Chains A and B, each alone.
Chain A
Amino acid sequence: MEQRARRSDKVRVQVDLSAAEVRLLDLLQDRLSVRSRADLLQQAYGSFLWMVDELLAGRKVVSVETDALAQLERFKELCVPAVQPIIFDHYRYLVAKPDKWRKQLYLKGRNMTVGQLMYSMRANNLSAEEAAADMDLPIEQVREAQVYYEIHRDLIEREADEEKQYLLNGGVPLEPAPVP
């Protein structure tokens, strides 16, 4: 009886999401080790309510570097229990290369950027599974790269533009030459 009562307290909500958003949710569910999408959304809902509450109380919700915290006299910290254990290992299959001019992440174990992978998949109409098989990459790495691309698309496109400008300034032609 009690169980039935609890069940009846729940309301099913249906939302329309893009394929990229669903991929992101699936990846987060996997990475945060939450049991279901419902658990994931509950965590997101809790964080969102906290932020709304702070804003309604007339406070600002900001993000600062850890070492800057010492300069603040008073602050409240948002805790997301599922995120804390992985905070130092956000991406499992991607890696930064600070000595490179590109700031986007690279595929761990390959000298290949996320952009190079994504644009190659687009050019050849490859699914994540097909790309993984064709390029000898773990499928999880390709999926993680897809999520990173969705989140950091602006950076990747900016770096492609920067590369183009660099090449054009250096006299490298990128347009098809007239057919001889």
Chain B
Amino acid sequence: MSLRLYLDDCIYSHELRRLLVEAGHDVQVPADVHPALTGQEDQRHFAHACRSQRVLLTKNPRDFQELHRQSTSHSGILAVYLDNDPKRDMSQREIVRAIANLEATGALLAGGFWPLNNYRW
């Protein structure tokens, strides 16, 4: 299934974008927005994702879970937790695969907070 994704400032990378597009997703990054959201605070990224009805992808789970608690009127938050243990690292390919795994469960993403670490198989 194709998702409309918005990559937060802390996860944006050309390679991740390329892999997500290759997997069939529609991807927007902070620099694509007018005016650009590069360098803006979490609330601005969150507000934009809500407004544009895009699923937000981030490596900042704690702060976005906090925003999720304040409002569940969003299209979904996909979060990657960065562990101190290198064995638990999620590469860009693993992030793309985890999104596919999550989608395969049939979960309704809208209004949910989804830790992708939980879908890495």
Contact = CB atoms under 8 A, between A and B. Distances in A.
B83 A160 contact: yes
B86 A122 contact: yes
Given A116-B82, A174-B81, A134 B115 contact: no
Contacts, number: 96
Interface in A18-71: none
Contacts of A163: 61-62, 81
A134 B15 contact: yes
B84 A157 contact: yes
B89 A172 contact: no
B10 interface: yes
A111 B115 contact: no
Given A124-B92, A163-B62, A173 B118 contact: yes
Given A116-B59, A123-B89, A164 B121 contact: no
Interface string B53-67: 000000111110100
A5 interface: no
A179 to B, nearest CB: 5
Contacts of B31: 136
B24 interface: no
Interface in A105-157: 109-113, 115-116, 119-120, 122-124, 133-136, 157
Contacts of A115: 82
A7 B64 CA distance: 62
Interface string B1-26: 00000001111111100000000000
A172 B115 contact: yes
Contacts of A98: none
Contacts of B84: 157, 160-161
A2 interface: no
18 contacts: A109-B39, A110-B9, A110-B10, A110-B39, A111-B40, A119-B59, A123-B89, A123-B91, A134-B15, A161-B84, A163-B61, A166-B62, A167-B61, A167-B81, A172-B113, A174-B81, A174-B117, A176-B119
List 3 tightest A-B contacts by C-beta distance, closest first.
Answer: A123-B89, A111-B9, A119-B82
Interface of B: 8-15, 31, 38-42, 45, 59-63, 65, 81-84, 86, 89-92, 104-105, 113, 115, 117-121
Given A111-B42, A115-B82, 14 more contacts: A110-B38, A110-B39, A111-B40, A111-B41, A111-B45, A119-B59, A119-B89, A134-B15, A136-B31, A161-B84, A172-B61, A173-B115, A176-B119, A180-B104
